[in-house]
Amino acid sequence: MVFRKIDPAKDIELPTFIDVVFLLLIFFLVSYSPITPKKGQEELELSLPTAQGAGEVNVNEPLETMLIEIVPLKSEENKEDYEVWVLLPFESYSNSQKGRVTYRDAKTFSMQFQRTAVLPKDVAALNEADFLRLPAIQLMNDQIDSYVTSQFRIPHPTNRIDIRADQDVQFRIIDFIMDKCSSYEDLVPSMVFRTRFKVE
Amino acid sequence: MKPIKGGNERRKLALISLIDVVFILLIFFLVSVFFSSLPNEERKLFLPTPKNEPGSAQVLIQLIDDESFFYIDPLVTETLVNDITIIDNRGGSLAEKRNVLLRRCTFPMRDERSGLNNLVEKINGLIDHANLHPEEEYFVIIRCPGELPYRKVIELIQLLGRATYKNIQYGCVGGTISDIRGSKKIEKRLVPEEGQMRKNVIIEF
């Protein structure tokens, strides 16, 4: 009778093989950094707000200070533009409510009191006068003036203005805000950039 | 019929492997759930507001574009001081000093041979130095042109924030390489620093 010859070298057990494959998979998954660089960016660990950034913000977070938000416009017509929101931690500049207004409420108030304006994406080519005439720049200018003069009466390390901006916002806009804050010298000693990170 | 003994052994072995695979799968899913449930945490990066007055710094970083940057650190400063001394001694012009300054301090963003980011490497070198000398304080000025995305600055700030002893302070202002190209004055000067007089380069825009 003819029997089939079993070659022990060829007889690889499937479960053992799958076992090894899964072990390798887990090894690579665990050894790989969970924060992946975006397309076109190398060695990036930082993830700033993206086009959908506003949707991922904790809307129930109470605001501590004025927050200037610069996010891409969601309108279909002006996809290339940004919208600027000036969010205040209280309404009617009442100190009693300080810290109680959440991001969601502040956004509602900003819409209600029209503290929002459209900002062109490319402002680098504008001359200084045209740049300063932009409604969004005027809005930020007026609101910073109003907030600083009413809230920051004495220099204090905690006096600050928060900025949450899309990562592609041109530096000229940030520079304008910084210049504005520095015009008050020690009244606004610092600014805070709110950037989104994944916990390492 | 009598069962084959060898076949039983093989079946038992497969069951053990199967349980093993099931456990591996369990670990895999547990790890996956752990990573996927990590919340996106918003981090706050503090940046001091600039003062409207001339300032001094040990390190000046001028971002130019995606391809190049301008960088002065204490090491380059020493070379620059020597160059400026030579130019001054032979009555050289401001244009010569500008050329030397730009030639010595402008670097490509990416190293052609290694492919590494030169600016990141330089900052890493600065951080290493700051970590070795915790008693020394460093101040870094980052100048950024208006057309660049502000994330370039944030990335640098994030890097500088890695210094173990937090002895690297930083500030950020708007400015272009044209300001340096058109500088009104470039000269060497003795500047008091940490109780010592050090030679420094003054660039007046």
pLDDT score recorded for residue A10: 59
Regarding whether B134 and B191 lie in a shared domain, the answer is yes
Q: Which of A16-30, B146-160, B188-202 has the lowest mean pLDDT?
A: B188-202
Contacts of B157 in chain A (CB under 8 A): 193
Report the domain count for chain B.
2
Q: What percent of chain B is predicted at pLDDT more than 70?
A: 89
Residues composing chain A: 200
Q: Which residue has the higher pLDDT, B127 or A42?
A: B127
> Which of A63, A174, A188, A200 best probes binding to B when mutated, by most B CB atoms within 10 angstroms?
A174
Regarding whether B69 and B21 lie in a shared domain, the answer is no
B113, part of any domain: yes
How far is the CA of A6 from the CAs of A3, A9, A161, B66, in angstroms?
9, 9, 76, 63
CA-CA distance, A189 to B11, in Å (whole number)? 73
B162, part of any domain: yes
- The first and second tokens of residue B168, run together, are 């690297």
Regarding whether B1 and B69 lie in a shared domain, the answer is no
Q: How far is A180 from chain B (nearest CA, A)?
A: 9
Regarding whether B119 and B76 lie in a shared domain, the answer is yes
B26 at A interface, C-beta within 8 A: no
What residues form DSSP beta bridges with B95?
Answer: none
In the structure, what pLDDT confidence band is assigned to residue B147 with cuts at 50, 70 and 90? very high
B49, part of any domain: no
Residues 116-145 of B with CB under 8 A from A: 117, 120, 144-145
pLDDT score recorded for residue A175: 92
A57: left (phi over 0), alpha (psi -120 to 50) or beta: beta
pLDDT in tens, B30-85: 888 877 666 556 778 888 888 777 777 888 999 999 899 999 988 888 888 888 88
Regarding whether B98 and B71 lie in a shared domain, the answer is yes
Contact, B49 vs A189, CB < 8 A?
Answer: yes
Regarding whether B26 and B99 lie in a shared domain, the answer is no
Name the residue among B47, B44, B103, B118 with its Cα closest to residue A171. B47
pLDDT score recorded for residue A198: 42
B115: left (phi over 0), alpha (psi -120 to 50) or beta: left
pLDDT score recorded for residue B21: 82
Q: Which residue in this structure is represented by tokens 């000398």?
A: B133
Nearest Cβ partner for A193 among B28, B45, B145: B45
Contacts of A124 in chain B (CB under 8 A): 145-147
Q: Which residue in this structure is represented by tokens 């369990």?
A: B26
Regarding whether B110 and B14 lie in a shared domain, the answer is no
B48, part of any domain: no
Low-confidence ranges of chain A (pLDDT < 70): 1-12, 33-56, 75-79, 91-99, 196-200
pLDDT in tens, B154-180: 889 888 888 888 888 888 889 999 998
SS3 per-residue string spanning chain A: CCCCCCCCCCCCCHHHHHHHHHHHHHHHHHHCCCCCCCCCCCCCCCECCCCCHHHHCCCCCECCCCEEEEEECCCCCCCCCEEEEEECCCCCCCHHHCCCCEHHHHHHHHHHCCCEEEECCCCCCCCHHHHHHCHHHHHHHHHHHHHHHHHCCCCCCCCEEEEEECCCCEHHHHHHHHHHHHCCHHHCCEEEEEEEEECC
Q: Do B14 and A171 touch (CB under 8 A)?
A: no
CA-CA distance, A121 to A156, in Å (whole number)? 34
Regarding whether B88 and B13 lie in a shared domain, the answer is no
B76, part of any domain: yes
Contact, A92 vs A101, CB < 8 A?
Answer: no
Report the domain count for chain A.
1
Domain that includes residue A94, residue range: 53-193
In the structure, what pLDDT confidence band is assigned to residue B121 with cuts at 50, 70 and 90? very high
What residues form DSSP beta bridges with B144?
Answer: B174
Q: How far is B80 from chain A (nearest CA, A)?
A: 29
Q: Do B25 and A196 touch (CB under 8 A)?
A: no
Residue type, A145: D
pLDDT score recorded for residue A51: 41
B161, part of any domain: yes
Domain that includes residue B8, residue range: 1-41
A111, part of any domain: yes
Q: Which of A61-70, B148-157, B195-204 has the lowest mean pLDDT?
A: B195-204
A168, part of any domain: yes
B53, part of any domain: no
DSSP H stretches of helix in A79-199: 103-112, 128-133, 135-151, 171-182
pLDDT score recorded for residue A43: 58
Residues 76-115 of A with CB under 8 A from B: none
- SS3 for B10? helix
This complex has an ipTM of 0.76
The count of other CB atoms within 10 Å of the CB of residue A189 is 20
Q: What are the φ/ψ torsions at residue B106 (nearest 5 degrees)?
A: -95, 130
Q: Do A190 and B46 touch (CB under 8 A)?
A: yes
pLDDT score recorded for residue A53: 37
Q: Do A57 and B20 touch (CB under 8 A)?
A: no
B148, part of any domain: yes
A46, part of any domain: no
> How many pairs of residues across A and B have Cβ atoms under 8 Å apart?
145
pLDDT score recorded for residue B183: 87
B171 at A interface, C-beta within 8 A: no
Q: How far is B152 from chain A (nearest CA, A)?
A: 9
